[in-house]
């Protein structure tokens, strides 16, 4: 069974947070070194992302919203010249929940690498298109 872990994107501060608690009734509380503060984090100001239970080729945990890259080692032989032509292309995947599970459950994640996430590294989204 995979551990239940979460992280949160703070929309106001534009920072990733990992020191918070989600109560059974849905309220999100900010923590300070593992203890409750007086203040609360409200779900509307934070985007909660779940750990997929998987790790990338560098043993980094993969969360919802992560951007994964696979360097494609594929090549082909030209029928005209007989020479090897490298694909050289990268493949990208944004980790999402699709109502039945994470959209990366069928990937061999040991070949993929987390290169960022859609909130802190949204400039990478242009490369994934």
Query: Does residue 117 fall inside a structural domain?
Result: yes
Q: Which domain holds residue 118?
A: 6-128
Give pLDDT, residue 119.
Answer: 93
Mean pLDDT rounded to a whole number for the chain: 79
Instruction: Catalogue the E-assigned strands of 2-65.
Output: 6-10, 15-17, 20-22, 28-32, 35-41, 46-55, 61-63
Query: Does residue 52 fall inside a structural domain?
Result: yes
Assigned token pair, 126: 């242009």
Query: Does residue 20 fall inside a structural domain?
Result: yes
Q: Is the pTM of the predicted complex or chain greater than 0.85? A: no
Query: Does residue 18 fall inside a structural domain?
Result: yes
- Total structural domains within the chain: 1
CATH code of 40's domain: 2.30.30.290
pLDDT exceeds 60 at position 10? yes
**For the segment 20-56, what is each residue's pLDDT rounded down to a tens digit?**
877 777 777 777 766 666 555 555 678 889 999 999 9
Give pLDDT, residue 42.
Answer: 58
Query: Does residue 1 fall inside a structural domain?
Result: no
Query: Does residue 55 fall inside a structural domain?
Result: yes
CA distance 117 to 119: 6
Query: Does residue 86 fall inside a structural domain?
Result: yes
Query: Does residue 60 fall inside a structural domain?
Result: yes
């Amino acid at each position: 069974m995979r551990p239940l872990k979460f992280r949160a994107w703070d929309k106001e501060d534009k920072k990733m947070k990992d020191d918070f608690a989600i109560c059974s009734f849905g309220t999100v509380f900010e923590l300070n070194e593992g203890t409750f503060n007086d203040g609360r984090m409200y779900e509307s100001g934070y985007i909660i992302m779940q750990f997929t239970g998987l790790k990338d080729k560098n043993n980094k945990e993969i969360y919802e919203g992560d951007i994964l890259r696979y360097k494609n080692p594929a090549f082909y032989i030209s029928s005209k010249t007989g020479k090897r032509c490298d694909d050289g292309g990268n493949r990208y995947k944004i980790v999402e929940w699709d109502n039945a599970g994470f959209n990366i459950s069928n990937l061999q994640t040991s070949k993929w690498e987390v290169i960022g996430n859609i909130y802190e590294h949204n400039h990478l989204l242009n490369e994934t298109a």
